[in-house]
Chains A and B, each alone.
Chain A
């Protein structure tokens, strides 16, 4: 199970805690900053951190975890990065919120909440004790 930094890693930690009693799960986190397709317009985030994949992914089934699924570009970047670590048997995608607005042919295998958010809205997962989804207006 591999969380996408930052939100996806938090969700993956939570799922891991639920499953840890019955299953042994290998955990990793990806920071996809260096695999983005928009470097020409946006500099890497100051909170960029190293990807941590402390196991061999060759031949394994990987569950990729993210908090919010939107355009699909993050997932494309994450899959690109995974293939630089090896050749997994399969990659599945689980997200807590699918907000619609896909720009690539990418689909989640497991979704917590499906909603349709306006493109001008920024959807963010908050986890201050309780989990909630916040929407806020983005400039222009």
Chain B
């Protein structure tokens, strides 16, 4: 199996690499539940979280992941960084890389930021923690870990994804992962929040939420990102949106009896999801948060690990 130097998106990973990372994450769940939440795996490694967009959950999750594996973790947010003083993105990246970190975790509003920087920073592994509306690989891997725990495998399952697909990097990552891993994605969105040519991902498109629910194994609700909805035509009122595209108890009952409710957070109760649904036994939203730390531990470990395969795979079969 090819090892990775950077993690830009789910698009670069084979199904085998995805399974490897999800399984590694599964093994890390236990470390997070112990009394002493510390393993020496990344002792002596330095990780810099460079966040140009606000994020509490993803940044905290990366920070905990690094610290629980004994790495040294530095957080830099754009508000306090040199960018405010006029430094270019590339200069910020090269300056930090000159301090010799092993991993740079980057969130930026512009798609492709990580690939751009990777061309210049040669000895630093880069993790994409969300780049514009492009990808968010550690979120999709987190979701896949939650699905692995619930189902074993997502293959053959039906996941209904609802909300602002145009601005959602989580949606894009799921569209790519569904094809690689063999699950069905039903996309539910008003036409104004649906990107052009989405059919090429091989997903099913619905404009009526109620039509998509029967037979769904999971319902994945996306947050309405009002900060990205700058043009007023795309979005009706909050109440109207909740009526048409919010997940309430009545709608949840139309999905399969054991259906999971997922949300990448932060959620807006009363907008895309009703409070009783968010707190129901179907909700796996807090498991997603817990698994997020474990997956980020897996990604950091995989990026810091050497390239060799385990001994048993290099041994030749000459039995004595």
**Chain A interface residues (CB < 8 Å from chain B):** 31, 33-35, 38-46, 48-52, 80-81, 84-86, 121-122, 134-139
For B26-57 the 0/1 string (1 means CB < 8 A from A) is: 11111100111011111000000000000000
Contact status of A136 and B305, CB under 8 A, knowing A34-B41, A34-B69? no
By a CB distance below 8 angstroms, the chain A residues around B320 are 121, 134-137
Give B317 Cβ to nearest chain A Cβ, in Å.
7
By a CB distance below 8 angstroms, the chain B residues around A51 are 27, 30
Other-chain contact of A139, B39, B302, B315 (Cβ < 8 Å): B315
Determine the main DSSP class of B at the interface with A.
loop
By a CB distance below 8 angstroms, the chain B residues around A50 are 26-27, 29-30
User: Number of A-B pairs whose CB atoms are under 8 Å?
Assistant: 98
Instruction: List 26 contacting pairs A-B, 8 Å CB cutoff, sorted by A.
Output: A31-B27, A33-B27, A34-B28, A34-B301, A39-B42, A41-B306, A42-B309, A44-B24, A44-B302, A46-B23, A50-B29, A50-B30, A52-B30, A84-B39, A86-B35, A122-B311, A122-B312, A122-B315, A134-B319, A135-B320, A136-B317, A137-B320, A138-B311, A138-B314, A138-B316, A139-B314
By a CB distance below 8 angstroms, the chain B residues around A134 are 319-320
Q: Tell me the B295-309 residues at the A interface (CB within 8 Å).
A: 301-302, 304-309
The reply to whether A42 and B27 contact each other, CB–CB distance below 8 Å, is: no
Query: Contacts A41-B307, A122-B312 given; 6 further ones with Cβ under 8 A?
Result: A35-B39, A46-B23, A84-B34, A84-B39, A122-B315, A134-B320
Residue of B nearest to A33 (CB): B27
Determine the main DSSP class of A at the interface with B.
loop
Say whether B3 faces chain A, with CB atoms less than 8 Å apart. Answer: yes
By a CB distance below 8 angstroms, the chain B residues around A45 are 310, 312
By a CB distance below 8 angstroms, the chain B residues around A137 are 315-316, 318, 320
The reply to whether A39 and B306 contact each other, CB–CB distance below 8 Å, is: yes
Say whether B233 faces chain A, with CB atoms less than 8 Å apart. Answer: no
By a CB distance below 8 angstroms, the chain B residues around A81 are 39
Give B241 Cβ to nearest chain A Cβ, in Å.
41
Interface residues of B, count at CB 8 A: 38
The reply to whether A48 and B23 contact each other, CB–CB distance below 8 Å, is: yes
Say whether B1 faces chain A, with CB atoms less than 8 Å apart. Answer: yes
In the assembly, what is the distance between CA of A136 and CA of B318, in Å? Answer: 5
By a CB distance below 8 angstroms, the chain A residues around B30 are 50-52
**Chain B interface residues (CB < 8 Å from chain A):** 1, 3, 20, 23-24, 26-31, 34-36, 38-42, 69, 301-302, 304-312, 314-320
In the assembly, what is the distance between CA of A27 and CA of B309, in Å? Answer: 30
In the assembly, what is the distance between CA of A131 and CA of B75, in Å? Answer: 53
Give A81 Cβ to nearest chain B Cβ, in Å.
8
In the assembly, what is the distance between CA of A86 and CA of B35, in Å? Answer: 8
Which of A34, A39, A45, A48 has the most chain B CB within a 10 Å cutoff?
A34
Give A11 Cβ to nearest chain B Cβ, in Å.
17
In the assembly, what is the distance between CA of A80 and CA of B31, in Å? Answer: 13
The reply to whether B34 and A46 contact each other, CB–CB distance below 8 Å, is: no
**7 nearest interchain CB pairs?**
A41-B306, A43-B305, A135-B320, A50-B30, A34-B41, A45-B310, A34-B39
Contact status of A40 and B27, CB under 8 A, knowing A34-B41, A135-B320? no
